[in-house]
Amino acid sequence: KPVTPAPTPKKNNVLPDCSDKGSKLVGPLFIDQSIPKDMEAVEKDLSVDFGGTVEKGGKWAPTTCKPKHKVAIIIPYRKRFEQLKIFLRHMHPFLQRQELLYQIFVVEQLKNDPFNRAGLFNVGFVESLKMNKGFDCFIFTDVDLLPEDDHNYYGCPTSPRHMSVAVDKFNYRLPYATIFGGVGAFTKEDFQRINGFSNMFWGWGGEDDDLYTRITKVGFKLTRPSLKRGRYTMIRIHHFQSSKADPNRMNLLRNSGQRMSADGLNTLKYKLDKVDQQPLVTFVKIELKRSM
């Protein structure tokens, strides 16, 4: 009688490649804006299992196929815990359906300086790469934006990509053609090529317009999903706490192009206070310093 050989255990390097944009997509999603009681409640909620549970620090990778991309999700943050719980409950299953290897980072600005969204993105880029040199794509996202359609791919874009093109707050339309606010995606090389974001925008507004100039200045072609796939719901709680507009932003925007090589990743200054790997997310707590 012929002996059937025992099946060879599958190693990671023999797994088939994951399909291009994920094989588990469902299209339009239910948006749950109810506030979870605490993070433990969110953990319980994430019972849907796509193979492999979320690891400490908010990491995940598919176990049945080899992921196409290794993605760092970067969120600038201060005092938005209710929004963060809603965001994580929505985003873990979203990213898992896209079969990406990913980790979610929250970069928290300590001290009471005006909020510097762009500087925090830069810190997230640098610190995430320190933790895992393998990240090849970066999603820079506000904590209050929930993608409504999982065909809006959070893997590497072919060139810098503005994702949040149709936000409910703006009646699902682009408010102006050159907007880059909300959610953006870059390969590691493209983000380095533009020297990251400016560090000089303290307070609300302008830093995304500055980034748009950087992208076009080096000749990159900005890409966007369709208005159908790039739909977002903005989480409505906490909006009363918005930071004050940066009074200096118009001046800065006058010389975005000239400044870009001397203001960005290469001039970033901060003090790392603590890296806290929680079950669903990695907190990077920092003090941002004035870089010039």
Residue of 147, 206, 230, 264 interacting with ligand BGN (CB under 6 A): 206
- Position of tokens 């790392």? 272
Toward ligand BGN, which CB reaches closer, 30 or 176?
176
Tokens of 283: 């907190």
The answer to whether 128 and 74 are in contact (CB under 8 A) is yes
CB of 151 to ligand BGN, least distance (A): 24
CB of 224 to ligand BGN, least distance (A): 15
Interaction between residue 119 and ligand BGN (CB under 6 A): no
Interaction between residue 209 and ligand BGN (CB under 6 A): yes
Query: 260 pairs with which residues across the strands?
Result: none
Q: Name which of residues 10 to 69 contact ligand BGN (CB under 6 A).
A: none
CA–CA separation, 67 and 18 (whole Å): 5
Residue of 208, 214, 229, 282 interacting with ligand BGN (CB under 6 A): 208
DSSP class per residue in 206-257: SHHHHHHHHHHHTTPPPB---TTTSEEEEP-TTGGGPPPB-TTHHHHHHTHH
CA–CA separation, 127 and 132 (whole Å): 9
CA–CA separation, 36 and 43 (whole Å): 10
Piece of the chain touching ligand BGN by CB under 6 A; list 29-37, 90-98, 138-146, 200-208:
200-208
Residue of 25, 65, 205, 291 interacting with ligand BGN (CB under 6 A): 205
Interaction between residue 142 and ligand BGN (CB under 6 A): no
Interaction between residue 249 and ligand BGN (CB under 6 A): yes
For CA atoms 156, 161, 167, 172, the dihedral sign is negative
Toward ligand BGN, which CB reaches closer, 253 or 286?
253
Interaction between residue 181 and ligand BGN (CB under 6 A): yes
CB of 241 to ligand BGN, least distance (A): 16
Rounded-to-10 torsion of CA 185, 264, 126, 91: -30
Interaction between residue 155 and ligand BGN (CB under 6 A): no
Tokens of 248: 């200096």
Interaction between residue 184 and ligand BGN (CB under 6 A): no
Toward ligand BGN, which CB reaches closer, 252 or 288?
252
Give contact residues for ligand BGN (rule: CB under 6 A): 175, 179, 181, 205-206, 208-209, 249-250, 253
